[in-house]
Amino acid sequence: MKSYYRFVSIVTTLTALILIVSCSQKEEDIEVTDNEPVKQIDLADPSDSLIYEMVGVDSMTVLDVLLQQYDVKYMSSLQGAYVTRIDDVPNEGGYFWMYSVNGEMGAVACDKYTTKEGDRIRWHYRMAGTLQM
């Protein structure tokens, strides 16, 4: 029982961290016209060393769209799914995966956000505590 409360505490802390980090998100426009995944590496901006970009589909969650195009590992919790790895890039060294839709950071877990046709989904590989984007 003690380990259950510890797990819930860790997931709650990670969720709060994601919300804090997402408050000052700044997006640059990249046009995506089809549902081909896009990997973008921007060495000039260390807060986002890797971005995966894709287009939303009506009635699919952000996680569903991601799972269609990449090899993904995630944890399920009371708050929802938490992505721990996309392709060969795991959460490690203080970096973790978080998503945005149409330039707004996700306020709910990726399996709770239902996309619409044409939504621009971006998965960001971020350092924990990076407030200036």
Distance between CA atoms of 69 and 74, rounded to whole angstroms?
15
- Whether residue 105 lies inside any domain: the answer is yes
Residue 85 scores a pLDDT above 60: yes
91: how many CB neighbours lie within 10 A of its CB? 19
Give me the CATH number covering residue 84: 2.170.130
Mean pLDDT calculated for residue range 84-103: 93
129 vs 46 pLDDT, higher one: 129
- Whether residue 76 lies inside any domain: the answer is yes
Residue 119 scores a pLDDT above 80: yes
* Residue 17 pLDDT grade (very low, low, confident, very high; cuts 50, 70, 90): low
- Positive or negative, the CA dihedral 6, 7, 12, 14 is positive
What secondary structure letter does DSSP report for 114?
A: B
- Whether residue 132 lies inside any domain: the answer is no
Classify 10 as helix, strand or coil: helix
117 near 60, Cβ under 8 Å?
no
- Whether residue 133 lies inside any domain: the answer is no
pLDDT of residue 48: 57
Is this model's pTM higher than 0.75 or not?
no
Q: Which domain holds residue 88?
A: 2-127
Mean pLDDT calculated for residue range 11-22: 58
- Whether residue 27 lies inside any domain: the answer is yes
Residue 42 scores a pLDDT above 90: no
Mean pLDDT calculated for residue range 18-34: 47
Number of domains in the chain: 1
pLDDT of residue 50: 84
Burial 106-118, CB ≥16 within 10 A → b, else e: beebbbebebeee
* Residue 100 pLDDT grade (very low, low, confident, very high; cuts 50, 70, 90): very high
